[in-house]
Amino acid sequence: MTPRTTPSGSDPKKKAAKATERATDPEKPVKKTATAKKETTKKASATKAVTAKKTAAKKSPAKKAAGKKAAAEKVPAKKTAEKTAKKAAAKKATAKKVATAAGAAGTAVAKKATAEKTAAKKTSAKESTAAKSTKTKATAEKTTVASDRVTVSGPAEPPRAPKPKKASAPTATPLAPARAADPALDAGDRERLLTGTHHDPHTVLGAHPVAGGVAFRAFRPYALSVTAVAGDLRAELHDDGDGFFSGLLPLSDVPQGYRLLVRYEGTEQEVEDAYSFLPTLGELDLHLINEGRHEELWTVLGAHPMTHQGVSGTRFSVWAPNARGVHVAGTFNFWDGTGYPMRSLGSSGVWELFVPAIGEGELYKFEITRPDGSKTLRADPLARRTEAPPNTSSVVTASHHEWRDAAWLDQRAALPAHEAPFSVYEVHLPSWRPGLTYRQLAEQLPAYVKDLGFTHVELMPIAEHPFGGSWGYQVTGFYAPTARLGTPDDFRYLVDALHQAGIGVLMDWVPAHFPRDDWALAEFDGRPLYEHEDPLRSAHPDWGTLEFDYGRREVRNFLVANAVYWCREFHIDGLRVDAVASMLYLDYSREPGQWIPNVHGGRENLDAVDFLQEMNATVYRRVPGVVTIAEESTAWDGVTRATHHRGPGGFGGLGFGLKWNMGWMHDSLDYMSHEPVHRKYHHNEMTFSMVYAYSENYVLPISHDEVVHGKRSLVSKMPGDWWQQRANLRAYLAFMWAHPGKQLLFMGQEFAQGAEWSEAHGPDWWLLDPAYGAEADHRGVRDLVRDLNVVYRHTPALWERDIDPAGFQWIVGDAAEDNVFAFLRYAADGTPLLAVSNLSPVVRHGYRLGVPDDVQAWHETLNTDLGKYGGGDVTNPDAVKPEPQGWHGRPASITLNLPPLATLWLRPA
């Protein structure tokens, strides 16, 4: 029988010497490498091996095993150049008999016989000599097959004495290490794995059928040994150096569910081989990612604990189309990703790896080999949980929260936001009650907001961000609630508690830009990816951040899916989209020459328009009952118009549900900041909003931006002494609640905090301590806010026709000398509410106002000058009946006592 080709680890000098020797003297016998015994040159040697094998079968089990070893170790004598094809055929028949007797070892022997048959067909002397030379390069391979183990060896190991099997304890038999796989790992593959540039490690690592059996290859840096385990089979793989281990086992197919026993210094792990699994992402997922239309992107990218092919572990997947290679590194591999290369899933740019035995709580990042060969360690863009800053690792997580807000979700779509009561309390969670976790906040925030009567809370950005001073507006973890306050399930618990208290949850969402941190999104895979490749389009001039490339479909998909994610996974009721104006205009905060016009020569960012339209359309379609709100500070046409309705500018609407009325906010605060004696010169600042009040669906925002960075708190903006400041604030808030549009008030302003807000310490709750001397002044303002919300909720005229011009009528809007404003609001059924503001510091007795003649009498339903609010108690206690005296162009009129710096609401008696 002709010896097999020597494995690739043989000494080339020895091979050359043997070839020369056999070419010179073909009759000289060859020594068997493994046993150092002389081989016979007689043709009958193979037949004797068969006879010995049959005889061994009749012996005791121990002797039978020894007989099998002896038969297997017999090697046919070397052949000479003069052997004929007839002898080769006879040798083939003998080889088949040996294969039958050797059982599982027959597969390897049969393949040897096939090679010999090919060699025997060569008839020329030159071909015969070449065949002998090839045979001489090989050394004998011993194959031992036993019921409890398989050992495959080659020339690199010294000879081992046969060790009989112990029937009573088969697993105790010492194992010989397996030889390097044949064919050996390609040098190019080896280099690419070591340098982190292999795009498909599953094709070379793991177990693969090859000529002669199944090749096992493992890449485990720092391991002392690796053993393949499949049922009773145990085979120690050969250490090929640099963390590579391999072995060729005489198996007909890859054993299902095989495991790797990996021994390190002082520890040992037995796990499934990560490179034995099929991809976890399907063709449809990859197609949708390619198209930029995977609306549940978070379910396929990121880290997901799962059961795959019957094995528990975690799937890691990341979009990095420019990477030359990607590895996953984490606590489970000592932050060395070398031995965990991911596979590229084709043109999608997605890299994937299923790692068995990895579960929740593990920290991880992606080690990316850039196009220039350098490496970078990056947090997962779709991580659903992160470490608490300043740590930056992503965390494997899964949700176990059981929602109890079904009743809330069922009713929230009953009315669209613009036709429903909608008063919002804006909160910065980390500083509302500093030090509280999500779950602790759930015990306090819902009760507080419900007591004050707000319909919603709006949370400043919750997504993970590295710098607390950004208040969350520079996001690095778009899919992860900040870990500062707890886990994602803890945040779910807070939302659930708010819903059970009857309070909707809005959150600020920031798709306009992201920070440049080198562990996050910036040049994620070595080139601009999430940001625009043109620096003029990517660098945000105001905040030192990077703007998203809305023209890239995968980036749009990342953001659109993110909007859906918060609404679906956390039951968020609405998204307030930050900095929309900076997205819409190419020249936003840029000087001439610092921006490039669009294809039509205009300043509009057409890609951003498309993105916002797609985001709004997708969210409203996928999550009924939610609302999107734009913080848009310009006069862009159609922010809250449907996306399929084109406006005068040729653009379809952006599709938002509501828009912050920044113009009203700036104008009204400017008016209120003036001394009353000067207000008559600014009267139009309080009335101008009604010129455009119905151009969009508006929210009237007194937000965090207005009470920081030297702008002073809301009460501190007001002129006059402390009494006048509070009176102005109360009158202003009641004017705001009566004005068409929804309301938003930032925390701390509800009790007239005098200091600016600081994220370091939050609201000055001590102002409400009964031990504080001026506590009643602050409590009075808070009591007013509560009453405003209560009356508002029960008065449809104040919210039902917010976007209908027929729901509003001026009584008097030009009384500049008096600093008086009076108007009517109407419910859908025609029921009116009369709002009157006297923003001068004097009482106006018997002030006449024209009113409809179909109301029999009016009575005060709210007066901001009541003593319980801290006012002077100038009221109209009795029902006020209209007189048939025309006034302000109306057939009837009433006379009222108008308190100083106060607002009155009157309803039909």
Which residues are the active-site residues?
A: 578, 631
Which residues lie across from 464 on neighbouring strands?
477
Helices 125-137, 12-24: inter-axial angle, 10-degree rounding: 140
C-alpha–C-alpha distance, residues 8 and 248, integer Å: 13
C-alpha–C-alpha distance, residues 699 and 629, integer Å: 8
Six token digits for residue 708: 């920081």
C-alpha–C-alpha distance, residues 327 and 352, integer Å: 9
Instruction: Order across the sheet with 302-308: list the strands.
Output: 302-308, 311-319, 350-356, 343-344
Instruction: Note if the bond before 390 is cis, omega within 30 degrees.
Output: yes
Six token digits for residue 569: 């996974």
Residue 792 in contact with residue 737, Cβ under 8 Å? yes
C-alpha–C-alpha distance, residues 220 and 265, integer Å: 13
Q: Which helix (H) or strand (E) holds 897?
A: strand 892-898
- Give the closest residue to 860 by CA, choosing from 778, 793, 791, 763: 791
Six token digits for residue 224: 């002392």
Which own/partner contact pairs does 51-58 have at CB distance under 8 Å and 24+ positions apart?
A: 53/98, 53/101, 53/102, 54/101
At which residue do the structure tokens 């602050």 appear? 778
Residue 50 in contact with residue 94, Cβ under 8 Å? yes
Six token digits for residue 765: 């709750």
Helices 125-137, 106-120: inter-axial angle, 10-degree rounding: 150
Please spell the DSSP secondary structure of 615-647, one letter per residue. HHHHHHHHSTT-EEEE---S--TTTTS-TTSB-
Residues in the chain, overall count: 909
At which residue do the structure tokens 């011993």 appear? 142
C-alpha–C-alpha distance, residues 558 and 294, integer Å: 9
Please spell the DSSP secondary structure of 809-845, one letter per residue. EEEEEEETTTTEEEEEEE-TT--EEEEEEE-SSS-EE
The DSSP output letter for 456 is E
Instruction: Note if the bond before 201 is cis, omega within 30 degrees.
Output: no
C-alpha–C-alpha distance, residues 826 and 803, integer Å: 12
- Give the closest residue to 362 by CA, choosing from 329, 339, 319: 329
Runs of H (alpha helix) within 720-797: 722-738, 775-793
- Number of CB atoms found within 10 A of residue 535's CB: 10
3-state helix vs strand vs coil in the chain, percent to 5:
35, 25, 45
Runs of H (alpha helix) within 648-708: 662-673, 676-679, 684-687, 689-692
C-alpha–C-alpha distance, residues 749 and 757, integer Å: 9
At which residue do the structure tokens 């600020």 appear? 508
User: Which burial class, exposed, middle or buried, applies to 282 when counting CB atoms under 10 A from its CB (0-12, 13-18, 19+)?
Assistant: exposed
- Give the closest residue to 289 by CA, choosing from 554, 7, 608: 554
Residue 244 in contact with residue 206, Cβ under 8 Å? no
Q: Which amino acid, one-letter code, is at 605?
A: N
C-alpha–C-alpha distance, residues 316 and 365, integer Å: 10
E-only strand ranges, 49-92: none
